[in-house]
Structure formats: structure tokens, C-alpha cells
Amino acid sequence: MEIYIDGEWFDKENARVSVYDHGLLYGDGLFEGIRIYGGKIFKLKEHILRLFEGARAIRLELNLSLEETMAAVEETVRRNNRKEGYIRLLATRGRGPLGIDPFSCPRSTLVIIADDISLYPATLYKTGIPIITASTRRLSARIFDPRIKSLNYLNNILAKIEARDAGCPEAVMLSEEGYVAECTGDNIFIVKDGHLLTPASWHGLLEGITRNTLLELAEKKGIPSKETTLTRFDLYTADECFLTGSGAELIPVISVDKRMIGDGKPGPLTARMMKAFTELIYS
Ligand code: PMP
């Protein structure tokens, strides 16, 4: 495996960043997760744009232009001869002295890994998964905008721990106000009376690229969809439910807090969206 770090490629054993990197010391940095399908990098530009927007928001100076970053990702995929897989991109504040001052770090660091990822066992994509509501709330956009895909995921990790403790692979996180926001690493959709509904970004969530792709797909297929406000009641009484993300792709949800969704099996619109998504990614 060849891993990109700041313009050079290293094998896995030698791909290292400094313990003085502020990404490690303070979570001061950003990341992206991107899929490779059939030799093509899915929505590369959208991911890189999100990285650049995050960088602007946290005043992290990237060393490459947007085009150069895309080229570095493409080159990493090429060198690793990847036709399928997952790319992890990290942009950290770089090496600096102890102390959080980001301006003490002269140069940011960019890491690109092309590897495999398997968030859930393959069978769960057929059977669907049970989820719970975590008591850990999603960080409010008034405190730290979740649209910044930062290297500090402790908020989500605490919710993931709750999920695992409850014997579930995933947990839904509510906003500070108690509305449904998203899951720990994926966005959430429900189906109600033939409508596809997902929380609007102002409820404080990462505006997922898979989520946005799904909304576009729904529009193309003439399926009514809406970004809206959802409560736990809406989840409990949904006809169908599924999660989306670059890592998770599309995974059906069959229960929320032990309330069975529909008949406890992945629903027909979920299956339709999964099929449409698969067709799109290999088109
Ligand atoms: N929400 C969170 C918190 C995430 O970390 C992710 C990505 N892993 C998503 C949603 C899904 O985003 P995307 O579809 O862009 O991968």
C-alpha cells in the first residue's frame, strides 16, 4: 500500500505523522471519506470542495489547490491500483509546539490513504439494523457547525458507545433542541406515505454527499422528498427508515428504540433507492 503524505508516498509501516502534529494533539484538522466504485472516485469534487470549505472555516491553509488535491487523490488511487475501496483524506494543522495556537504550526499536513472499509457486515444490508437514540446530543451549529468535518469526533464516538452498549450498530443523535439530526457517521432518512424525508441541515448535521445524492436521485425518479424537521415520534411511526454515508452507503433500519419500523423488514422504497444508488455509482 502506498500512502500519500505531503507530496511523497510511503508504505503503510513508514507512513507516519509527528506526535507534535496538532491534528493528533488537539484534533485540529479535517477529514473526508470517499468511495471508489468500478475504478471511479465517487463525487471526488464534492468531497474536496467540502474539505476546502471546512479549511476556510477553520483557517487551515492547505498547501495544494483544489485541482492539485484532486490529482493527488487520483494518483494515490492509481498507485494502489484500486478499482473498489475507500479513500481517507486528512488535512491536519501540521506540526507545532505544545499549546493550541494554530498559528504556531508553519505548515499543514495532507494524508491520503486508499484502503478498504466495512462499517457493517454484508448481511445487515439485507436484513437491516436496529438503532437507538443516543442521550449524547449532536453538537449544535451554534457551538461548532457539524458541517465542518473535523478530526474531533468524540461527540459522535460517545453516541457510538451508547449504541454498542445497547447492542446496536448505530445510534441516532438529536439536536440540542431534541430534533432528529443524524447518526454517528451517517445521515438518516425516513419514508412516510411515499415521501422521503430527512432532517434539514439547519438542525445541525453533516450535509452528507450521499444524502444529497439520494435527494437528487429521488427528484430524478419523481419520488417526493423533503428536508424537514423530524422528531423521534416521526422515526417511531415511519413506514421505512435507512441511513446513508460514504462509508455506510445505504443501510436499512428496522427498529428505532425497539419500535419496529414498518413490518420489521427493509421497505420497498428503501430497496428502490438502494437499487437506484447502485446503478448510479456504477454508471
Ligand atoms: N454524518 C456524519 C457525522 C458523518 O461522519 C458522515 C460521513 N462519515 C456522514 C454523515 C455522511 O456523509 P457522506 O455521505 O458525505 O459520507
For residue 113 the three cell numbers come to 490513504
Rounded to an integer, the average pLDDT of 58-78 is 98
What domains lie within the chain, and their CATH numbers?
A: 2-115 (3.30.470.10), 124-281 (3.20.10.10)
Atom of ligand 1 nearest to the CA of 184: 3
What's residue 218's pLDDT? 97
Confidence at residue 221, expressed as pLDDT on a 0 to 100 scale = 96
Closest C-alpha residue for ligand 1 atom 10: 186
Given this model, what pLDDT does residue 53 score? 98
Q: Which of 283, 278, 279 is nearest to 125 (CA)?
A: 278
Per the listing, cell 478499482 goes with 83
* Residues forming a β-bridge with 195: 192
Instruction: Answer yes or no: is the C-beta of 96 below 6 A from any ligand 1 atom.
Output: no
pLDDT score, position 140: 92
Average predicted confidence (pLDDT) for the chain: 97
Write down the H helix ranges in 33-111: 44-58, 66-79
**Contact 172 CB / ligand 1 (< 6 Å):** no
pLDDT for position 209? 98
> 32: Cβ below 6 Å to ligand 1?
no
Distance from the CA of 206 to the center of ligand 1, in angstroms? Answer: 6
Contact 267, 240 (CB under 8 A): yes
Q: Is the pTM for the entire model greater than 0.85?
A: yes
Query: Residue 70 — very low, low, confident or very high, per pLDDT cuts 50/70/90?
Result: very high
Q: What is the mean pLDDT of residues 77-89?
A: 97
Band (pLDDT 50/70/90 cuts) for residue 144 is very high
- The CB of 105 under 6 Å from ligand 1? The reply is no
Q: Provide mean pLDDT across the span 234-247.
A: 98
Q: Is 149 a catalytic residue?
A: yes
Q: Of ligand 1's atoms, which has the minimum distance to the CA of residue 156?
A: 3
pLDDT confidence of residue 207: 95
Binding site membership of 186 for ligand 1 (Cβ less than 6 Å): yes
State the pLDDT confidence band at 199, using cuts at 50, 70 and 90.
Answer: very high
Band (4; pLDDT cuts 50, 70, 90): very high
* Whether 253 contacts 242, CB under 8 Å: yes
pLDDT, mean of residues 22-41: 98
User: Residues 177-190: pLDDT tens digits?
Assistant: 999 999 999 999 99
- 117/172 Cα distance (integer angstroms): 21
CA 277/CA 37 separation, integer angstroms? 12
Interior angle at CA 200, CA 195 and CA 201, nearest 5? 150
Q: What is the mean pLDDT of residues 28-47?
A: 98
* Predicted local distance difference test score (pLDDT) of residue 194: 97
**Residues 6 or more apart whose Cβ sits within 8 Å of residue 260:** 254
Confidence of residue 21 (pLDDT cuts 50, 70, 90): very high
Check if 33 has its Cβ closer than 6 Å to any atom of ligand 1: yes
**What pLDDT score was predicted for residue 124?**
97
Q: How close is the Cα of 283 to the center of ligand 1, in Å? A: 22
Give pLDDT, residue 259. Answer: 98
Average pLDDT over residues 19-28: 98
In sequence order, what are the residues at sequence separation of 6 or more whose Cβ sits closer than 8 angstroms to the Cβ of residue 244? 186, 187, 188, 189, 208, 210, 211, 214, 250
Structure confidence at residue 235 as a pLDDT band (50, 70, 90):
very high
CB neighbour class for 11 (10 Å; exposed up to 12, middle 13-18, buried from 19): exposed
The size of the chain, in residues, is 283
What is the band of 112 on the pLDDT scale with cuts at 50, 70, 90?
very high
Q: What's the pLDDT score for residue 143? A: 92
Maximal CA-CA distance, the chain: 57
Nearest CA residue ID for atom 2, ligand 1: 185
pLDDT tens, 44-66? 999 999 999 999 999 999 999 99
If you take atom 8 of ligand 1, which residue's CA is the nearest one? 185
pLDDT attached to residue 130: 98
Q: Please answer whether residues 218 and 225 qualify as being in contact, where contact means their C-beta atoms are separated by less than 8 angstroms.
A: yes
| Pick from 229, 138, 132, 248: nearest CA to 190 | 229
The active-site residue out of 45, 83, 149, 265 is 149
